[in-house]
Structure 1
Amino acid sequence: MKIAVGSDHRGFEAKQQIKAIVTQLGHECVDFGTNDSNPVDYPDPAYLAATAVSKKEADRAILICSTGLGMSMAANKIKGIRAALCHDELSARISRDHNDANVLCISGDQTGEVLLRKIVEVWLDTKFSGGRHQRRVNKIAAIEEGKDPREVKSG
Protein backbone atom coordinates (compact mmCIF):
# COMPACT_ATOMS: atom_id res chain seq x y z
CA MET A 1 0.00 0.00 0.00
CA LYS A 2 0.96 3.62 -0.43
CA ILE A 3 0.71 5.36 2.94
CA ALA A 4 0.67 9.15 3.22
CA VAL A 5 2.08 10.53 6.48
CA GLY A 6 1.94 13.99 7.96
CA SER A 7 2.59 15.74 11.23
CA ASP A 8 2.90 19.08 12.87
CA HIS A 9 5.99 19.97 14.90
CA ARG A 10 4.68 18.17 17.99
CA GLY A 11 4.26 14.93 16.03
CA PHE A 12 7.46 15.15 14.00
CA GLU A 13 9.52 12.64 16.03
CA ALA A 14 6.68 10.10 16.10
CA LYS A 15 6.21 10.58 12.35
CA GLN A 16 9.84 9.66 11.77
CA GLN A 17 9.27 6.43 13.72
CA ILE A 18 6.07 5.73 11.80
CA LYS A 19 7.83 6.16 8.45
CA ALA A 20 10.35 3.51 9.50
CA ILE A 21 7.57 1.15 10.67
CA VAL A 22 5.57 1.58 7.46
CA THR A 23 8.65 0.91 5.33
CA GLN A 24 9.67 -2.12 7.44
CA LEU A 25 6.19 -3.56 6.88
CA GLY A 26 6.75 -3.36 3.12
CA HIS A 27 4.60 -0.34 2.32
CA GLU A 28 5.51 2.78 0.39
CA CYS A 29 5.57 5.95 2.47
CA VAL A 30 4.87 9.46 1.15
CA ASP A 31 5.71 12.29 3.57
CA PHE A 32 3.57 15.44 3.47
CA GLY A 33 5.54 17.24 6.19
CA THR A 34 6.48 18.78 8.38
CA ASN A 35 10.17 18.20 7.88
CA ASP A 36 11.51 19.45 11.21
CA SER A 37 10.41 20.50 14.69
CA ASN A 38 9.77 24.16 13.80
CA PRO A 39 6.16 25.22 14.53
CA VAL A 40 3.62 24.49 11.80
CA ASP A 41 -0.19 24.52 11.81
CA TYR A 42 -1.61 20.97 11.90
CA PRO A 43 -4.36 21.59 9.29
CA ASP A 44 -1.72 22.04 6.58
CA PRO A 45 -0.21 18.51 6.57
CA ALA A 46 -3.63 17.04 7.46
CA TYR A 47 -5.10 18.58 4.33
CA LEU A 48 -2.28 17.41 2.09
CA ALA A 49 -2.20 13.80 3.31
CA ALA A 50 -5.98 13.37 3.55
CA THR A 51 -6.47 14.90 0.11
CA ALA A 52 -4.00 12.38 -1.31
CA VAL A 53 -6.22 9.60 0.08
CA SER A 54 -9.40 11.28 -1.14
CA LYS A 55 -7.95 11.58 -4.65
CA LYS A 56 -6.71 7.96 -4.50
CA GLU A 57 -3.09 9.07 -4.78
CA ALA A 58 -2.48 7.17 -1.51
CA ASP A 59 -4.32 4.18 -0.07
CA ARG A 60 -4.38 5.44 3.51
CA ALA A 61 -2.80 8.12 5.68
CA ILE A 62 -1.34 8.41 9.17
CA LEU A 63 -1.36 11.82 10.87
CA ILE A 64 0.31 12.85 14.12
CA CYS A 65 0.01 15.98 16.25
CA SER A 66 0.30 16.55 19.99
CA THR A 67 -3.06 14.94 20.83
CA GLY A 68 -4.21 13.66 17.44
CA LEU A 69 -7.44 15.62 17.87
CA GLY A 70 -6.66 18.53 15.56
CA MET A 71 -5.43 16.23 12.81
CA SER A 72 -8.58 14.09 13.01
CA MET A 73 -10.85 17.15 12.92
CA ALA A 74 -9.04 18.63 9.93
CA ALA A 75 -8.80 15.35 7.99
CA ASN A 76 -12.49 14.56 8.51
CA LYS A 77 -13.40 17.74 6.62
CA ILE A 78 -12.08 16.19 3.40
CA LYS A 79 -14.66 14.37 1.30
CA GLY A 80 -14.37 10.60 1.55
CA ILE A 81 -12.15 10.64 4.62
CA ARG A 82 -12.92 8.59 7.70
CA ALA A 83 -10.19 9.61 10.12
CA ALA A 84 -9.97 7.83 13.47
CA LEU A 85 -8.03 8.94 16.53
CA CYS A 86 -6.63 5.74 18.01
CA HIS A 87 -4.98 5.40 21.41
CA ASP A 88 -4.59 1.62 21.56
CA GLU A 89 -4.65 -1.58 19.50
CA LEU A 90 -8.39 -2.12 20.01
CA SER A 91 -9.39 1.29 18.67
CA ALA A 92 -7.01 0.79 15.73
CA ARG A 93 -8.53 -2.61 14.93
CA ILE A 94 -12.16 -1.49 15.27
CA SER A 95 -11.56 1.68 13.25
CA ARG A 96 -10.62 -0.52 10.29
CA ASP A 97 -12.82 -3.58 10.89
CA HIS A 98 -16.06 -1.70 11.58
CA ASN A 99 -15.54 1.83 10.23
CA ASP A 100 -13.18 1.33 7.28
CA ALA A 101 -11.05 4.23 8.55
CA ASN A 102 -8.72 5.41 5.83
CA VAL A 103 -6.81 7.88 8.01
CA LEU A 104 -5.21 7.00 11.34
CA CYS A 105 -4.59 9.87 13.77
CA ILE A 106 -2.23 9.45 16.70
CA SER A 107 -1.11 11.54 19.65
CA GLY A 108 2.61 12.21 19.39
CA ASP A 109 2.76 13.35 23.01
CA GLN A 110 0.85 10.47 24.60
CA THR A 111 1.94 7.44 22.58
CA GLY A 112 5.19 5.67 23.42
CA GLU A 113 7.34 3.95 20.81
CA VAL A 114 6.17 0.38 21.56
CA LEU A 115 2.48 1.29 21.53
CA LEU A 116 2.97 3.43 18.44
CA ARG A 117 4.34 0.42 16.56
CA LYS A 118 1.47 -1.82 17.71
CA ILE A 119 -1.19 0.70 16.72
CA VAL A 120 0.32 1.21 13.26
CA GLU A 121 0.83 -2.53 12.65
CA VAL A 122 -2.71 -3.44 13.70
CA TRP A 123 -4.26 -0.59 11.71
CA LEU A 124 -2.35 -1.46 8.54
CA ASP A 125 -3.04 -5.20 8.88
CA THR A 126 -6.77 -5.02 9.66
CA LYS A 127 -9.23 -5.41 6.80
CA PHE A 128 -12.71 -3.88 6.66
CA SER A 129 -15.29 -6.57 7.44
CA GLY A 130 -18.11 -5.03 5.40
CA GLY A 131 -21.54 -6.56 6.01
CA ARG A 132 -23.70 -4.47 8.33
CA HIS A 133 -20.74 -2.12 8.76
CA GLN A 134 -20.86 -1.19 5.06
CA ARG A 135 -24.37 0.18 5.56
CA ARG A 136 -23.07 2.35 8.39
CA VAL A 137 -20.15 3.61 6.32
CA ASN A 138 -22.66 4.42 3.57
CA LYS A 139 -24.63 6.45 6.11
CA ILE A 140 -21.52 8.44 6.97
CA ALA A 141 -21.10 9.15 3.25
CA ALA A 142 -24.75 10.25 3.06
CA ILE A 143 -24.18 12.76 5.88
CA GLU A 144 -21.15 14.04 3.98
CA GLU A 145 -23.46 14.68 1.01
CA GLY A 146 -25.93 16.58 3.22
CA LYS A 147 -28.44 13.74 3.21
CA ASP A 148 -30.39 12.12 6.03
CA PRO A 149 -28.58 8.85 6.91
CA ARG A 150 -31.89 7.26 7.91
CA GLU A 151 -32.76 7.17 4.22
CA VAL A 152 -29.88 4.77 3.49
CA LYS A 153 -31.43 1.32 3.62
CA SER A 154 -28.89 -1.17 2.33
CA GLY A 155 -25.17 -1.93 2.36
Structure 2
Amino acid sequence: MATVMPLSKVARRPTPGAVDVNSQSKHWPCLFPQHGPGRKHTRKIELAGWQREITDQYTEEFIRGLIHSDGCRSMNRVRRPLKGGDRWYEYPRYNFTNVSLDIQRLFTDALDRLGIPWTQMNAENISIAKREAVARLDEFVGAKY
Protein backbone atom coordinates (compact mmCIF):
# COMPACT_ATOMS: atom_id res chain seq x y z
CA MET A 1 0.00 0.00 0.00
CA ALA A 2 2.83 2.38 0.82
CA THR A 3 4.43 1.70 -2.56
CA VAL A 4 1.23 2.48 -4.45
CA MET A 5 0.24 5.46 -2.30
CA PRO A 6 3.56 6.78 -0.83
CA LEU A 7 2.08 9.96 0.68
CA SER A 8 -0.53 8.07 2.69
CA LYS A 9 0.27 6.61 6.08
CA VAL A 10 -0.20 2.84 6.42
CA ALA A 11 -1.36 1.51 9.79
CA ARG A 12 -1.11 -2.12 10.87
CA ARG A 13 -3.05 -3.54 13.81
CA PRO A 14 -2.66 -7.18 14.87
CA THR A 15 -5.92 -8.98 15.57
CA PRO A 16 -6.51 -12.65 16.45
CA GLY A 17 -5.62 -14.65 13.34
CA ALA A 18 -4.98 -11.61 11.12
CA VAL A 19 -3.48 -8.18 10.73
CA ASP A 20 -5.73 -5.23 9.87
CA VAL A 21 -4.04 -2.89 7.40
CA ASN A 22 -5.44 0.59 6.80
CA SER A 23 -4.54 3.57 4.65
CA GLN A 24 -6.61 6.72 4.13
CA SER A 25 -6.56 8.59 0.82
CA LYS A 26 -9.11 10.32 -1.38
CA HIS A 27 -7.24 8.75 -4.31
CA TRP A 28 -8.02 5.07 -3.51
CA PRO A 29 -11.17 5.24 -5.70
CA CYS A 30 -8.87 5.97 -8.67
CA LEU A 31 -7.31 2.53 -8.15
CA PHE A 32 -10.59 0.82 -7.26
CA PRO A 33 -13.26 2.52 -9.40
CA GLN A 34 -15.88 -0.09 -8.49
CA HIS A 35 -15.78 1.08 -4.87
CA GLY A 36 -18.45 3.58 -3.96
CA PRO A 37 -21.27 4.49 -1.66
CA GLY A 38 -24.06 2.05 -0.95
CA ARG A 39 -24.33 -1.68 -1.11
CA LYS A 40 -22.39 -3.62 -3.77
CA HIS A 41 -25.46 -5.34 -5.15
CA THR A 42 -27.26 -2.02 -5.76
CA ARG A 43 -24.56 -0.46 -7.94
CA LYS A 44 -22.66 -1.46 -11.06
CA ILE A 45 -19.52 -3.48 -10.36
CA GLU A 46 -17.21 -3.81 -13.33
CA LEU A 47 -13.47 -3.98 -13.70
CA ALA A 48 -11.50 -1.20 -15.33
CA GLY A 49 -9.48 -2.22 -18.39
CA TRP A 50 -6.23 -2.56 -16.45
CA GLN A 51 -8.01 -4.68 -13.82
CA ARG A 52 -9.41 -6.98 -16.52
CA GLU A 53 -5.92 -7.45 -17.92
CA ILE A 54 -4.67 -8.51 -14.50
CA THR A 55 -7.56 -10.88 -13.79
CA ASP A 56 -7.16 -12.39 -17.27
CA GLN A 57 -3.46 -12.97 -16.63
CA TYR A 58 -3.97 -14.22 -13.05
CA THR A 59 -7.33 -15.96 -13.37
CA GLU A 60 -6.53 -18.72 -10.87
CA GLU A 61 -5.46 -16.20 -8.24
CA PHE A 62 -8.60 -14.13 -8.90
CA ILE A 63 -10.85 -17.17 -8.39
CA ARG A 64 -8.90 -18.15 -5.28
CA GLY A 65 -9.43 -14.70 -3.77
CA LEU A 66 -13.14 -14.73 -4.53
CA ILE A 67 -13.61 -18.18 -2.99
CA HIS A 68 -11.57 -17.21 0.07
CA SER A 69 -13.72 -14.11 0.57
CA ASP A 70 -17.21 -15.29 -0.47
CA GLY A 71 -16.99 -19.05 -0.95
CA CYS A 72 -16.23 -22.37 0.65
CA ARG A 73 -15.34 -25.99 -0.03
CA SER A 74 -17.59 -28.46 1.75
CA MET A 75 -18.90 -31.99 1.65
CA ASN A 76 -22.38 -32.22 0.17
CA ARG A 77 -24.33 -35.00 1.84
CA VAL A 78 -27.25 -36.45 -0.11
CA ARG A 79 -29.92 -38.92 1.00
CA ARG A 80 -31.73 -41.01 -1.58
CA PRO A 81 -34.76 -43.00 -0.43
CA LEU A 82 -34.61 -46.61 -1.57
CA LYS A 83 -36.69 -49.73 -0.90
CA GLY A 84 -35.43 -51.25 2.29
CA GLY A 85 -33.83 -48.05 3.58
CA ASP A 86 -32.24 -44.79 2.63
CA ARG A 87 -28.91 -44.51 0.90
CA TRP A 88 -26.47 -41.73 1.84
CA TYR A 89 -23.54 -40.51 -0.18
CA GLU A 90 -21.34 -37.45 -0.13
CA TYR A 91 -19.02 -35.56 -2.42
CA PRO A 92 -16.91 -32.39 -2.18
CA ARG A 93 -18.04 -29.20 -3.85
CA TYR A 94 -17.25 -25.49 -3.91
CA ASN A 95 -19.90 -22.84 -3.33
CA PHE A 96 -19.64 -19.14 -4.07
CA THR A 97 -22.23 -16.81 -2.57
CA ASN A 98 -22.76 -13.18 -3.50
CA VAL A 99 -25.90 -11.05 -3.88
CA SER A 100 -24.29 -8.91 -6.59
CA LEU A 101 -25.01 -10.32 -10.04
CA ASP A 102 -22.01 -8.37 -11.36
CA ILE A 103 -19.65 -10.10 -8.91
CA GLN A 104 -21.23 -13.47 -9.70
CA ARG A 105 -20.59 -12.76 -13.39
CA LEU A 106 -16.94 -11.88 -12.73
CA PHE A 107 -16.58 -15.21 -10.90
CA THR A 108 -18.35 -17.34 -13.51
CA ASP A 109 -16.54 -15.62 -16.41
CA ALA A 110 -13.24 -16.49 -14.72
CA LEU A 111 -14.36 -20.12 -14.30
CA ASP A 112 -15.36 -20.18 -17.98
CA ARG A 113 -11.91 -18.91 -19.00
CA LEU A 114 -10.40 -21.94 -17.24
CA GLY A 115 -13.00 -24.36 -18.60
CA ILE A 116 -14.36 -25.15 -15.13
CA PRO A 117 -18.07 -26.09 -15.23
CA TRP A 118 -20.42 -24.47 -12.73
CA THR A 119 -24.15 -24.27 -11.99
CA GLN A 120 -26.36 -21.53 -10.62
CA MET A 121 -27.94 -23.03 -7.47
CA ASN A 122 -30.21 -20.07 -6.76
CA ALA A 123 -30.16 -16.27 -7.01
CA GLU A 124 -27.09 -15.92 -4.77
CA ASN A 125 -25.14 -19.19 -5.06
CA ILE A 126 -22.85 -20.74 -7.65
CA SER A 127 -21.88 -24.41 -7.25
CA ILE A 128 -18.84 -26.25 -8.63
CA ALA A 129 -19.52 -29.93 -7.99
CA LYS A 130 -18.28 -32.08 -10.87
CA ARG A 131 -15.41 -34.28 -9.74
CA GLU A 132 -12.95 -32.93 -12.34
CA ALA A 133 -13.95 -29.31 -11.63
CA VAL A 134 -13.46 -29.72 -7.87
CA ALA A 135 -10.09 -31.38 -8.48
CA ARG A 136 -9.05 -28.49 -10.73
CA LEU A 137 -10.01 -25.90 -8.10
CA ASP A 138 -8.20 -27.94 -5.43
CA GLU A 139 -5.00 -27.46 -7.46
CA PHE A 140 -4.88 -23.71 -6.79
CA VAL A 141 -7.51 -22.57 -4.25
CA GLY A 142 -5.98 -24.03 -1.10
CA ALA A 143 -7.23 -23.84 2.46
CA LYS A 144 -9.09 -20.80 3.74
CA TYR A 145 -7.42 -19.15 6.73
Shared fold, TM over 0.5: no
More helix by share: 1
**TM (normalized to structure 2)?**
0.28
More strand by share: 2
**TM (normalized to structure 1)?**
0.27
Q: Which has the larger radius of gyration?
A: 2
